[in-house]
Structure 1
Amino acid sequence: MTVTVVVGNPKPASRTRTAGELLAERLTGAAPDHVIELIELGPGLLGWGDEAVAAAVTAVQESSLVVFASPTFKATYTGLLKLFLDQFAGGTGLRDVVAVPLMLGAGPGHAMAPDLTLKPVLSELGGTCALPGLYLLDSAFAESSALDDYVERWAPVARTLLALRTG
């Protein structure tokens, strides 16, 4: 089983990354195998054929579970994440990948954003999106029980999906 976290925050080493890594670890019981900071791919995301972007796409496609983590910008995920997702073929680009949408924001007003904006794109790309998206307040996610509550409810589902995928 390979686990990857894709971080769509334009700031490296962000709270978004920390939350994504925590979620992946708590869902699977192990640290993620890969963390892809999209900001590090830079202008290669603006076209097709960049080797680093292609390697990141391959890493995601070869993963069993991928947490797609983004801060909330204008009530949706970042353009940086959109540029990366554009690299995947529609309907099949995330085939056989359990995709988990995670977004962080400043207030509760955008709590539905992971399910309303990010999850449909991941589904359109062929990802298995059986878990609901998770929205965390960026200033308090480490102290909040929201992540633990989500994991308690959804980790058994994630593990079942992963067992079916590898079994």
Structure 2
Amino acid sequence: MTTTVVAGNPKPGSRTLDAATSLATALTGSAPDHVVDVVTLGAGLLGWGDDAVEAAVETVAASDLVIVASPTFKATYTGILKLFLDQFATGDGLRDVTAVPLMLGAGPAHAMAPDLLLKPVLVELGATCPAPGLYLLDSTYTTDTRIADYAERWSAAIGSTVRTEAR
């Protein structure tokens, strides 16, 4: 199984990236195979045909499990994540990929954002999202048990949709 983390935070090496990596590890028992810290793709996200962006898109599309993470900005996911997701073909850009939407925020007011805002985009791109998204408080995700609790509750459902045969 190939696991990839996509972090759509405008700050490289962010808490969003850390939380997504922790979730991938909790769900699979090992570190993710690939990490796409979207901000590092830079201006290539603003157009089409950038080699680094195309390579990142191919990596994500070839993955079996993808954790797609964003901080909560203006009650939704970030524009930089939107620019990256726009690089995928509608309907089948994430075909055969199981995705988990993850968002972090300062308070509980946007706890439904992963399911209401990020999950529909992933499904529109062809991903399978078999479990609820996960919302974490950015100030407590390293000390609370929410990632472990989520993995315990949903890893079987998520694992049952992950494609196991070679692509």
- TM-fit CA distance, 1:90: 0.4
DSSP 3-state at the match of 1:131: coil
Which residue pairs with 1:102 in the alignment? Answer: 102
Which residue pairs with 1:7 in the alignment? Answer: 7
**With structure 2 as the length reference, what TM-score do the two structures score?**
0.97
AA partner of residue 143 (structure 1) = T
- TM-fit CA distance, 1:29: 1.1
DSSP 3-state at the match of 1:109: helix
Which residue pairs with 1:64 in the alignment? Answer: 64
DSSP 3-state at the match of 1:42: helix
AA partner of residue 7 (structure 1) = A
Unaligned runs of 5+ in 2: none
DSSP 3-state at the match of 1:166: coil
AA partner of residue 143 (structure 2) = E
DSSP 3-state at the match of 2:58: helix
Distance 2:130 2:161 in 1: 9
Which residue pairs with 1:166 in the alignment? Answer: 164
2:122 corresponds to 1:135: no
- TM-fit CA distance, 1:122: 0.2
What is the alpha-carbon root mean square deviation over aligned residues? Answer: 0.7
AA partner of residue 98 (structure 2) = V
Shift >6 Å, 4+ stretches: none
Distance 1:143 1:96 in 2: 34
- TM-fit CA distance, 1:149: 1.2
DSSP 3-state at the match of 2:103: strand
Which residue pairs with 1:154 in the alignment? Answer: 154
The aligned length equals 165
Distance 1:13 1:43 in 2: 18
- TM-fit CA distance, 1:147: 1.2
Deviations 1:24-57 (A, max 9, x none): 0111111000110111100000010000000000
AA partner of residue 135 (structure 1) = Y
Distance 1:43 1:139 in 2: 30
**With structure 1 as the length reference, what TM-score do the two structures score?**
0.97
Distance 1:40 1:15 in 2: 15
- TM-fit CA distance, 1:156: 1.1
Distance 1:159 1:89 in 2: 24
- TM-fit CA distance, 1:114: 0.3
- TM-fit CA distance, 1:145: 1.6
- TM-fit CA distance, 1:118: 0.2
